[in-house]
C-alpha cells in the first residue's frame, strides 16, 4: 500500500479557500486507469489523505492532480509505502495507522524541509517503511526533484498539454482541444519538458521498459 498525505501550500494566502478545496477534490477524481484503495478525504486543517494499491497508481494520480489544478493552488505530498491498518472508527470514516502512514508523515516533513532549503520548487518526497534508503526511494525521489522543477516552470497551457499526453491523447487531439496547430503543440512539448515528465513516469511504472 502507498499512503499519501497531501497538504495545501500557503493555504492562508488563497483568496478563496472553499473554491480551492473543491478544485483539489475534483483534481483527484477520475484519473484514467487508477482507482484508489481509499479515496481522497479531507482530514484536519489543510490536509488530505488518500491510499493507493501501488506506487505507480500513486504517481500517476498525483501527477495528474498537479497538472489539473489551476494556477495559484499548489499541493505538497508525502508518500509512504508500507502496511496501513484500521485502529478504530469515527463519523468521518475509519481511523488508520501503520508504517505506511508513519512513512508518509516523515516524507511530507522532508519535502517541506527541502522546500525551505535548496529546493524551493520541491513538493513531493517518498519513503518506504520496508526499504529505507533503498534504490526505489532514491529513484522515485530523483524523479520528484526533476518533475517538480519542470512543472513549476510550466505555463498553464503547457500543463494542460502534459496532462493530455499523460492521459494518452495524441498531439493532434491536444491541438484540436487547444485550438492551435499540431506544430504549436509539438513546440510546447519540446520546450516545456512535458516529455520528461510523462516518459519518466512511464519508465517508473513499467520498470524502465
Is the residue at 139 inside a domain?
Answer: no
Each residue of 73-111: pLDDT tens digit?
999 999 999 999 876 665 556 678 899 999 999 999 999
Provide the pLDDT for residue 183: 96
As for how many domains the chain has, the answer is 2
- DSSP line for 148-187: HHHHHT--HHHHHHHHHHHTT--HHHHHHHHTS-HHHHHH
Whether residue 181 is contained in a domain is answered as yes
Share of the chain above pLDDT 90, in %: 80
CA distances from 175 to 79, 100, 184, 204 (A): 34, 41, 8, 27
Position 105 in a domain: yes
Condensed to tens digits (0 to 9), the pLDDT of residues 22-52 reads: 999 999 997 888 999 999 999 888 999 999 9
Where residue 52 falls (left for φ over 0; alpha for ψ -120 to 50; beta otherwise) is: beta
Together in a domain, 11 and 97: yes
In a domain, 143, yes or no: no
Question: How many CB atoms sit inside 10 A of residue 44's CB?
Answer: 8
In this structure, the answer to whether residues 112 and 30 fall within a common structural domain is yes
Q: How confident is the model at residue 208 (pLDDT cuts 50, 70, 90)?
A: very low
Which region holds residue 2: left if phi is over 0, alpha if psi is between -120 and 50, else beta? beta
Q: Nearest-CA neighbor of 204 among 126, 152, 149, 151?
A: 126
Domain boundary among 67, 99, 134: 134
- Full domain range(s) for residue 186: 154-209
**Model pLDDT for residues 113-146, shown as the tens digit of each residue:** 999 999 999 999 999 998 998 999 999 999 999 9
My answer on whether 14 and 84 are in the same domain is yes
**Are 126 and 188 in a shared domain?**
no
Amino acid at each position: 500500500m502507498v499512503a499519501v498525505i497531501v497538504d495545501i501550500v500557503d493555504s492562508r494566502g488563497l483568496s478563496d479557500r472553499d473554491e480551492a478545496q473543491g478544485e483539489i477534490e475534483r483534481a483527484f477524481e477520475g484519473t484514467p486507469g487508477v482507482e484508489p484503495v481509499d479515496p481522497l478525504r479531507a482530514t484536519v486543517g489543510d490536509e488530505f489523505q488518500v491510499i493507493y494499491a501501488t506506487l505507480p497508481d500513486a504517481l500517476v494520480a498525483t501527477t495528474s492532480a498537479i497538472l489539473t489544478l489551476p494556477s495559484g493552488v499548489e499541493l505538497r505530498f508525502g508518500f509512504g509505502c508500507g502496511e496501513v491498518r484500521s485502529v478504530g472508527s469515527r463519523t468521518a470514516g475509519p481511523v488508520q495507522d501503520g508504517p505506511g502512514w508513519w512513512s508518509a508523515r516523515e516524507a511530507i516533513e522532508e519535502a517541506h524541509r527541502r522546500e525551505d532549503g535548496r529546493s524551493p520548487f520541491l513538493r513531493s518526497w517518498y519513503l518506504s517503511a520496508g526499504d529505507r534508503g533503498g534504490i526505489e526511494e532514491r529513484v522515485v525521489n530523483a524523479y520528484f526533484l526533476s518533475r517538480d522543477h519542470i512543472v513549476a516552470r510550466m505555463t498553464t497551457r503547457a500543463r494542460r498539454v502534459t496532462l493530455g499526453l499523460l492521459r494518452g491523447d495524441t498531439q493532434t487531439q491536444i491541438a484540436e482541444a487547444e485550438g492551435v496547430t499540431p506544430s504549436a503543440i509539438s513546440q510546447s512539448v519540446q520546450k516545456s519538458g512535458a516529455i520528461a515528465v510523462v516518459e519518466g513516469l512511464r519508465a517508473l511504472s513499467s520498470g524502465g521498459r
